[in-house]
Amino acid sequence: MTAGGDAPGMNPCVRAVVRTALGNGLRVKGIRCGFEGLLAGDFKELGARDVGGIIQKGGTVLMTGRFPEFAELRYQRLGLRKLNEAGIDALVVIGGEGSMNGARALGQLGFPVMGIPASIDNDIYGTQMALGVDTALNTIIEAIDKLRDTASSHQRAFVVETMGRSSGYLALISGIIGGAELVLIPEQDIATEEVAAAVSDAYVRGKTHAIIVVAEGASLHGQALIDALNAMNTGFQFRLTILGHVQRGGRPTAFDRLLAARFGVSAVERLLAGEHGVMVGLQGREISAIPLEQVCTEKRRANLDYYRMARMLAK
Ligand code: F6P
């Protein structure tokens, strides 16, 4: 099953899960449309050819959806019943935080589950990288590079808003690798005056443009930030670009495809070895597994060394 917001890398991961399982003599059913599809009994038998030609595609061929109602015990019990009726022995859930919570709930009811982290936000505890993050970062820096062309032609400042919900990861990393003057993230408060000071400092140092990357969850963001900055004397005129869902699409990068393959193979091999109730994750160079209990109760923290790095490199 793929669940929650889609992420590039879900398709190569579905392919890896299916082919590893088939190669080990198992039968595989795909659940369409996430947890809602589970409750509707929307299952489809998958063969090796059914997952052919999808390795390079963004999105998810299994379709996905958000279903916060799955937090309720009555839906979890119905889900368990649907799995049992279909003769399923184990479930692999590919998704973000909410999906890992759904997987954990089924595990707590006694069903063997395996989580695979996939979310462009990179806010899931227990893995250094989730599927989709690398592709999203590449999409963001391509946009920043293009915006810089027009910004410097007009001596303008651009505020580029990234996704990430309450996590500043995408903004922080794309700010560093996109050469932003400043990054605004939910994990680090900053006053509008300080933002204006950083931009006017860039102007005085002779810069022809300024890029500020703002996470959607930052306290300062959107048109209100632009209006406040335009009312201050920084030397630049400000424009806003909200990247939006374009960040969730596109061909998975080489990094995401390899991670998808490694996660998918490891997930099935661990289930075959009798391991369940865990999520596979990337720790250093290794694929490890961490209890879903821990994934769902601990919070991934922002690395504020990156924040300091972003400010230092902007000078
Ligand atoms: O979790 C992924 C994400 O793209 C977030 O960055 C964003 O806040 C949210 O999903 C948007 O959700 P939806 O596509 O349901 O509007």
Residue 244 CB coordination number (10 Å): 11
Element (H, E) at 116: strand 113-117
164 lines ligand 1 (CB under 6 A): yes
Average pLDDT estimate for 108-129: 98
Look at ligand 1, atom 14, and give the residue with the nearest C-alpha. 5
The predicted pLDDT at position 315 comes to 83
Average pLDDT estimate for 27-47: 98
82 lines ligand 1 (CB under 6 A): no
**The ligand 1 atom nearest the CA atom of 217:** 8
Q: What are the DSSP E strand ranges found in 136-233?
A: 156-162, 182-184, 210-215
Look at ligand 1, atom 13, and give the residue with the nearest C-alpha. 5
Residue 29 CB coordination number (10 Å): 16
* Residue to substitute in 2, 94, 120 for testing ligand 1 pocket (most ligand atoms within 8 angstroms of CB): 120
Average pLDDT estimate for 139-168: 97
Tell me the three state secondary structure of residue 287.
strand
Query: How far is ligand 1, taken at its centre, from the CA of residue 2, in Å?
Result: 15
73-102 pLDDT, tens digit per residue, is 999 999 999 999 999 999 999 999 999 999
Query: How far is ligand 1, taken at its centre, from the CA of residue 6, in Å?
Result: 9
Query: How far is ligand 1, taken at its centre, from the CA of residue 182, in Å?
Result: 23
* Residue to substitute in 165, 172, 300 for testing ligand 1 pocket (most ligand atoms within 8 angstroms of CB): 165
**The ligand 1 atom nearest the CA atom of 66:** 15
232-265 pLDDT, tens digit per residue, is 999 999 999 999 999 999 999 999 999 999 999 9
Report the half-sphere exposure of 195 (CA within 13 A, side-chain side): 30
Q: What's the angle, vertex CA 106, arms to CA 100 and CA 109, rounded to 5? A: 140
- Residue among 186, 192, 175 nearest 137 (CA): 175
Average pLDDT estimate for 117-135: 98
- Residue among 205, 206, 216 nearest 240 (CA): 216
Average per-residue pLDDT for the chain: 97
pLDDT of 125 > 90? The answer is: yes
Query: How far is ligand 1, taken at its centre, from the CA of residue 163, in Å?
Result: 7
Backbone angles phi, psi at 49, to 5 degrees: -75, -25
| Backbone CA torsion sign across 218, 215, 287, 45 | positive
Q: How large a percentage of the chain has pLDDT more than 70? A: 100
* Gap between the Cα atoms of 23 and 15, Å rounded: 12
Q: Give the helix ranges, DSSP H, for 30-72.
A: 34-39
271 lines ligand 1 (CB under 6 A): no
CA 277 to chain CA centroid, Å, is 21
**The ligand 1 atom nearest the CA atom of 121:** 6
40-65 pLDDT, tens digit per residue, is 999 999 999 999 999 999 999 999 99
Tell me the three state secondary structure of residue 218.
coil
Query: How far is ligand 1, taken at its centre, from the CA of residue 124, in Å?
Result: 14
265-291 pLDDT, tens digit per residue, is 999 999 999 999 999 999 999 999 999
Domain architecture of the chain: domains with CATH: 10-132+252-297 (3.40.50.450), 135-248 (3.40.50.460)
Residues belonging to the chain = 315
Look at ligand 1, atom 15, and give the residue with the nearest C-alpha. 5
pLDDT of 222 > 90? The answer is: yes
* Gap between the Cα atoms of 119 and 247, Å rounded: 11
* Residue to substitute in 167, 248, 300 for testing ligand 1 pocket (most ligand atoms within 8 angstroms of CB): 248
Active site (catalytic) residues: 121
